[in-house]
Amino acid sequence: MTRSLRVSLALAFATAMGASAAHAAGDAANGEKIFAKCKACHTVEAGKNKIGPSLAGVVGRKAGTAEGFNYSDAMKNSGLTWDEATLDTYLTGPKKLVPGTKMAFPGLPNEQDRLDVIAYLKSVSQ
């Protein structure tokens, strides 16, 4: 199965499971607290990359394009754009959506945690 087919199937599954309909339920304040798990590698300060890229402005951004960050070929060639459904799928299991990504984080299994983090990322992307 090709990578683009896997990505398409994963996104279709997330949409079918209602992931995109649930995004309005995210709590940005709680998401900021959960994001503490991400701070070892990521920041929401524009232009400040760490082990991972800055997530400032990530919502709506094409994957693998944050300035000054050296992405894996898998991420650069993923063809993804970070909308709410794609972020939800990625945060569920990063290596499942983008095999070969450098991100070592296993994901957030709790749906509400993911929705809250996405709401937080949206709030710092505006």
- Reported as a pLDDT band with limits 50, 70 and 90, residue 16 is very low
pTM: 0.80
Number of domains in the chain: 1
Structural domain that includes position 93: 3-123
What whole-number distance in Å separates Cα of residue 95 and Cα of residue 125?
24
89, 109 in Cβ contact below 8 A?
no
CATH number at residue 57: 1.10.760.10
Q: What does the CA dihedral 75, 49, 116, 102 come to, rounded to 10 degrees?
A: 30
- 62 DSSP β-pair partners: 81
Residue 51 has pLDDT above 60, yes or no: yes
Render pLDDT for 60-100 as a digit per residue (tens, 0 to 9): 999 999 999 999 999 999 999 999 999 999 999 999 999 99
Question: In the prediction, which pLDDT does 114 show?
Answer: 98
Contacts of 18 (CB under 8 A, 6+ apart): none
Q: Which of 125, 122, 120, 105 is nearest to 28 (CA)?
A: 120
